[in-house]
Structure 1
Amino acid sequence: MTAGSENEQAAPSRKGGVRESLLLAGCGAVAAVLLQSFVFPLFWIPSESMENTLHVGDGVVVNKLHGAVERGDVVVFTGWDGTDTIKRVIAIGGDTVKCCDAQRRITVNGVPLDEKDYLHPDDFPSKEEFEKAVPEGRLWVMGDRRSASQDSRDHEERGGEGTIAEDEVTGRAVAVFWPLSRAAVLSTPDTFARTFTGDE
């Protein structure tokens, strides 16, 4: 066999390798787009209502396959004005949430929340007093910067339900990916790991 014939045989193999690489790259790109669209969409923080946990312009990854919503979760949902909104779940269906006890703490089923891990350091649990029995299938949500957040409290005051339906939740925010200097996993605060009255 001559050198020329060896080169002729090698050329198709190299072309096949390039096509295979391009096909794999294309499949990977399609898979990434599908994951981003249907499983892990991205959400950009529009306001200061979730500071200091989330800042204006932060990019967060949202898990749409989050399972049941739990107290302490940061969730993206269809807001009262029809736009995507992000808040923290304070109470779930069957809970009674109240502000405030003698130490000015929010309570859930009579159990006080220690909110220092996520509440804005210059803020307070709530200026407004309230007490709400959360209906089954609904959620009481609040921002981490309470004085800058329009949340369940405001809509309760305006004569609305205040709570949101569980099926209005798009997903749970699981991580900050942008900016890189603030990249972090969003975990459930320790105060919500306790047993609340009425839990099974």
Structure 2
Amino acid sequence: MAVGARSGHDEPEERPERPAESSVAMRDDSGDGPDADPADGAGRDGRDGENGEADGAPKKPRSFWKELPLLIGIALLLALLIKTFLVQAFSIPSDSMMNTLQRGDRVLVDKLTPWFGSEPERGEVVVFHDPGGWLEGEPTPDPNVLQEFLSFIGLMPSAEEKDLIKRVIAVGGDTVSCKEGGKVVLNGKALDETSYIAPGSSPCGDKPFGPITIPDGSIWVMGDNRQNSLDSRYHQNLAGGGTVPNDQVVGRAVFVAWPVTRWSTLPVPETFDQPGLSQALAVAPGAAGLAGALPLVLWRRKRLTSRHTAE
């Protein structure tokens, strides 16, 4: 009987109880007891993550040197986007635009408006790619790798050796000419160019031309230093007859940014706003409208005549 009671139904052996003081102490230390305040800490050890910081405490900011590569990357990306879509700096390599622009000036070129369909207008100073043969025989710049990179992202003026800068004198549909000793005549109107051509320059220089009608989608350009500018006048033997296709235009030069002593805008001279200058272009749509309306008028007249005859 004693053996059976011990093996099945006898009371279990008594084990020593843990001291009450120890149990209370553990609950108090852990903050995990029934009276614990959740606001006092989320973790059992009152720590947060790997840093061992108290829950809710502000995290330590990252080191400046760890943030620097990210800041540089963002700055380079923004510079590239601005250069590609908004504005780009160009350096003036020659004296062909004196006195409006001096050799070594840095100009800012608006590249945004062409994205919205804007085309070059009379009187604007524009930067354009060599349409073919204009810079033949000219010395080619040899920038180093750093200059090419900074130029690519827009932090230095363009290192592209095939860019030129001139003033737009005529656009597609215009007729332009200049006789020796005379003024440039645009659509029958003489231009007063004294405000922008170099002092001592004559409007034609040593190269009278025209009259020339500019093809649609092209422009006729001339430098402000007429005696020292290989512009449209000197390339009439090339494809396009000296004109520049609009799709070769990079953008309009709008501001002289360097040196600071020459800060200035590049507005369109008033002579290009004179009344009647665009008259030739205004007549063409009107004539086209008349030609289109004439068949309709004749058809309607014939129909009315037939109706009256039938009655």
Pick aligned residue for 1:76 from 99, 103, 127: 127
Listed as ranges, the matches of 1:1-200 within 5 Å are: 9-10=57-58, 12=59, 14-15=61-62, 26-66=73-113, 67-79=118-130, 80-81=132-133, 83-100=162-179, 104-126=182-204, 127-131=206-210, 132-156=212-236, 158=237, 160=239, 161-195=241-275, 196=277, 197-200=279-282
> How many residues are matched?
193
SS of alignment partner, residue 233 of structure 2: helix
More relative contact order in 1 or in 2 (CA 8 Å, sep 6+)? Answer: 1
1:45-93: CA deviation from partner (whole Å, max 9, x where unpaired): 0100000011111111111123121000111111233611110000001
1:126-177: CA deviation from partner (whole Å, max 9, x where unpaired): 1322111111111100000011000110011x45511111111111111111
SS of alignment partner, residue 198 of structure 1: helix
* Counterparts of 2:252 and 2:190, CA distance in 1: 24
Identity %: 41
| Compared CA separation, residues 33 and 199, structure 1 to 2 (3 A) | same
- AA aligned to 2:183 is R
* Counterparts of 1:167 and 1:175, CA distance in 2: 22
**Unaligned regions of 5+ residues in structure 2, if any?**
1-39, 41-52, 136-161, 283-311
| Compared CA separation, residues 52 and 19, structure 1 to 2 (3 A) | same
* Counterparts of 1:13 and 1:25, CA distance in 2: 22
* Counterparts of 1:90 and 1:39, CA distance in 2: 25
- AA aligned to 1:9 is A
1:158-197: CA deviation from partner (whole Å, max 9, x where unpaired): 4551111111111111111111111111111111122313
* Counterparts of 2:244 and 2:76, CA distance in 1: 35
**Given the two structures, how large is their TM-score scaled by the length of structure 2?**
0.56
* Structure 1 residue ranges (4+ consecutive) displaced by more than 3 angstroms after TM superposition: 13-29
SS of alignment partner, residue 224 of structure 2: coil
- AA aligned to 2:249 is V
- AA aligned to 1:143 is G
SS of alignment partner, residue 9 of structure 1: coil
* Counterparts of 1:139 and 1:41, CA distance in 2: 22
1:86-140: CA deviation from partner (whole Å, max 9, x where unpaired): 1000000111101038x71111011010101110012110132211111111110
SS of alignment partner, residue 147 of structure 1: helix
* Counterparts of 1:122 and 1:33, CA distance in 2: 41
**Given the two structures, how large is their TM-score scaled by the length of structure 1?**
0.84
